[in-house]
């Protein structure tokens, strides 16, 4: 395999000068802007040989036939192409599938070059399909969806959204698809930077954004997994958004009282969308009790109802969501009313729809008008809606509220998982159910006596009883054996017949660290009858006695405000934790200045 530039002959330029060299005869002439150039003469000597602009590749294919492939004007690019051609020949000779790098390189080649490889049987037709325009591949994808009998609405939305994204991003071929451009376009749709055909700015939700991304990813997965034209999807790494962060149309369930009022008002209401009030009443009741969707109800025929066994049969259809045959049970009252309503007509007559050909697709608008007649808001204060599909939400909520097992509710609603039934469809209606949930919890409240003692609000009589130990009242003065009447005035406390009172010196000012007013009548205070341990800094513990803690030394002149409340707060916590005996004693105030008695 070699690369070269082919030559061709052209007329000898005017004014050319003939130069003879050892390797041949050349013509020297000037081209545009006076640039001098030389070219070899032909054997006849009347023409010159010129090289083409494009490089060419000469090689032998898998059957030994010599081939010549036109390359690029750049020599380095042509050399890379020659390497890929050699790898392609080797894969064809060894019947080895193309690797990912080679497959991607061939996808990026021009379509004419891929067609030439097909003519030489180096490429299979399906291996070069990605060289076709992107709109042709999307059309093939749509044909595949129709062949698989997917829902027509799903096919239309998927093809429409995928085509919109590819056209807006300027993708013409498969190799043009880039995940960053797709993600950027969908983000612009969410932020309202793109307008629709009517000039209105679009502001789609996270759910709709995921739908656009899913449509594009479905097309790419069809190319990779079904057709196997390539091995990697360019959009496989784009994550989907959390729809719970941007709810736009959340549905709710109404109370049983409101539901009955809706059915009563609808039964006597006027005709709407070709249906009488009684027919709409049966339609709403059937949707609530069975959880059927609008499309499933629209396909019901009289032959689908078995009034003897009280069941309705859902037959598989092309447009159904779950393409399986299911039987749904009916209540006795609804079964009798449907028997009377449908009568003994032809078996293939539609069940609902009035004088319309089929059930209207504006059931949400129809229900909204009946809600107005019943005095029920279509959208509540929390922004939740009650449309026709909310009747299915009503069914799930009533089942769970009445104690039905979640698994049975999932089977009744024909959901794929219990999580979908419980997280999306089952709603809590009103405040009674929430009150029952809270009432089911065990009573964790403490007895009244323990709460009073723990809070210190059991009254002065109870505190005074706890002050007696060994038949007499313990006070700080009793505990301090060195206290005498002579030095009592120098202490922070004075003793009288009624117990301990405020300091004798009126100059001592401050407030209790526990938020108590020492001047208040009947003020409750605290002391300890046993040694108290509480942690200090650096994990060291300090043993604090009652006399050291609650009295100021006679020679002290100042108590720092920033330390005293912190220490007393830890003391109070330790008292509660160690369950010590508490005496009705007044705590010393945090004083700014304590005069020296000396």
Instruction: Tell me what the pLDDT averaged over the chain comes to.
Output: 77
Distance, in Å, from the CA atom of 283 to the CA atom of 229, rounded to the nearest integer, reads 49
> CA dihedral in degrees (28, 32, 35, 37; nearest 10)?
-30
Distance, in Å, from the CA atom of 148 to the CA atom of 143, rounded to the nearest integer, reads 9
User: pLDDT tens digits for 273-288?
Assistant: 999 999 999 999 999 9
Which pLDDT score is estimated for 320?
A: 54
Distance, in Å, from the CA atom of 209 to the CA atom of 315, rounded to the nearest integer, reads 33
Which pLDDT score is estimated for 426?
A: 87
Cα–Cα distances (Å) from 585 to 269, 457, 515, 523, 548, in that order, read 79, 15, 15, 9, 15
Torsion sign (Cα): 268, 272, 274, 280: negative
Which pLDDT score is estimated for 147?
A: 92
Which pLDDT score is estimated for 171?
A: 93
Distance, in Å, from the CA atom of 158 to the CA atom of 166, rounded to the nearest integer, reads 12
DSSP string, 19-53: EEETTEEEEEEE-GGG-EEEEEBPTTSSEEEEE-S
Helix axes 206-221, 152-169, angle to 10 degrees: 90
Closest CA to 446 of 463, 461, 462, 458: 458
- Higher pLDDT: 184 or 104? It is 184
CB 370 within 8 A of CB 269: yes
Closest CA to 9 of 36, 42, 55: 42
- Higher pLDDT: 334 or 124? It is 334
Closest CA to 200 of 185, 189, 187, 212: 189
Write the CB contacts of 392 (distance below 8 Å, at least 6 apart in sequence).
287, 291, 292, 293, 413, 425
User: pLDDT tens digits for 19-28?
Assistant: 888 888 888 8
User: pLDDT tens digits for 80-125?
Assistant: 999 999 999 998 888 887 787 887 788 788 878 888 888 888 887 7
Cα–Cα distances (Å) from 542 to 81, 261, 533, in that order, read 84, 73, 6
Which pLDDT score is estimated for 271?
A: 94
Question: What's the whole-number mean pLDDT along residues 305-311?
Answer: 92
Q: Which of 148-152, 543-547, 590-594 has the highest mean pLDDT?
A: 148-152
Distance, in Å, from the CA atom of 559 to the CA atom of 573, rounded to the nearest integer, reads 21
CB 223 within 8 A of CB 233: yes
pTM for this model (two decimals) = 0.57
């Amino acid at each position: 395999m070699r690369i070269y530039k082919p030559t061709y002959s052209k007329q000898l330029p005017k004014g050319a000068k003939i130069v003879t060299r050892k390797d041949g005869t050349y013509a020297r002439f000037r081209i545009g802007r006076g640039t001098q150039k030389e070219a070899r003469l032909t054997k006849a000597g009347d023409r010159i040989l010129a090289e083409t602009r494009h490089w060419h590749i000469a090689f032998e294919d898998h059957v030994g036939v010599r081939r010549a492939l036109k390359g690029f004007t750049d020599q380095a690019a042509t050399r890379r192409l020659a390497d890929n051609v050699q790898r392609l020949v080797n894969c064809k000779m060894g019947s080895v599938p193309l690797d990912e790098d080679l497959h991607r390189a061939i996808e990026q080649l021009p379509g004419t070059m891929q067609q030439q490889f097909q003519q030489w049987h180096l490429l299979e037709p399906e291996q070069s399909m990605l060289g076709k325009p992107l709109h042709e591949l999307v059309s093939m994808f749509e044909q595949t969806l129709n062949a698989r009998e997917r829902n027509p609405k799903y096919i239309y939305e998927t093809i429409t959204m995928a085509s919109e994204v590819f056209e807006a991003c300027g993708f013409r071929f498969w190799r043009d698809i880039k995940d960053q451009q797709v993600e950027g376009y969908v983000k612009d749709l969410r932020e309202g930077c793109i307008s629709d055909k009517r000039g209105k700015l679009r502001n789609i939700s996270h759910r709709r954004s995921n739908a656009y991304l899913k449509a594009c990813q479905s097309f790419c997965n069809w190319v990779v997994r079904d057709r196997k034209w390539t091995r990697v999807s360019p959009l496989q790494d784009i994550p989907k958004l959390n729809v719970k962060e941007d709810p736009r149309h959340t549905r709710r369930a109404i109370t049983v009282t409101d539901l009955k009022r809706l059915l009563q008002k609808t039964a006597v209401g006027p005709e709407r969308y070709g249906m009488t009030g009684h027919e709409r009443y049966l339609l709403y009741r059937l949707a609530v009790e069975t959880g059927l969707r609008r499309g499933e109800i629209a396909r019901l025929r009289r032959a689908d109802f078995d009034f003897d066994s009280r069941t309705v049969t859902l037959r598989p259809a092309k447009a159904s969501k779950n393409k399986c045959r299911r039987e749904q049970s009916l209540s006795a009252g609804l079964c009798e009313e449907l028997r009377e309503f449908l009568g003994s007509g032809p078996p293939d007559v539609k069940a609902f729809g009035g004088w319309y050909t089929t059930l209207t697709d504006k059931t949400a608008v129809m229900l909204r008008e009946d809600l107005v007649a019943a005095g029920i808001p279509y959208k509540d204060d929390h922004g939740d809606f009650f449309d026709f599909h909310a009747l299915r939400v009503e069914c799930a909520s009533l089942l769970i509220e009445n104690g039905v097992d979640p698994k049975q509710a999932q089977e009744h609603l024909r959901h794929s998982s219990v999580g979908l039934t419980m997280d999306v469809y089952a709603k809590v209606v009103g405040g009674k159910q929430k009150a029952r949930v809270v009432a089911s919890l065990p009573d964790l409240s403490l007895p009244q006596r323990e709460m009073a003692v723990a809070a210190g609000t059991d009254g002065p009589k109870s505190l005074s009883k706890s002050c007696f130990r060994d038949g007499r009242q313990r006070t700080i003065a009793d505990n301090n054996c060195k206290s005498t009447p002579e030095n009592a005035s120098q202490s922070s406390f004075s003793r009288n017949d009624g117990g301990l009172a405020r300091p004798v010196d009126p100059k001592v000012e401050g407030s209790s660290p526990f938020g108590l007013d020492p001047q208040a009548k009947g003020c409750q205070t605290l002391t300890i009858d046993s040694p108290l341990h509480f942690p200090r800094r650096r994990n060291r513990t300090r043993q604090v006695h009652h006399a050291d803690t609650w009295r100021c030394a006679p020679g002290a002149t100042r108590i720092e405000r920033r330390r005293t409340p912190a220490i007393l707060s830890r003391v109070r916590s330790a008292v509660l934790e160690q369950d010590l005996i508490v005496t009705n004693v007044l705590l010393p105030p945090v004083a700014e200045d304590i005069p020296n008695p000396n």
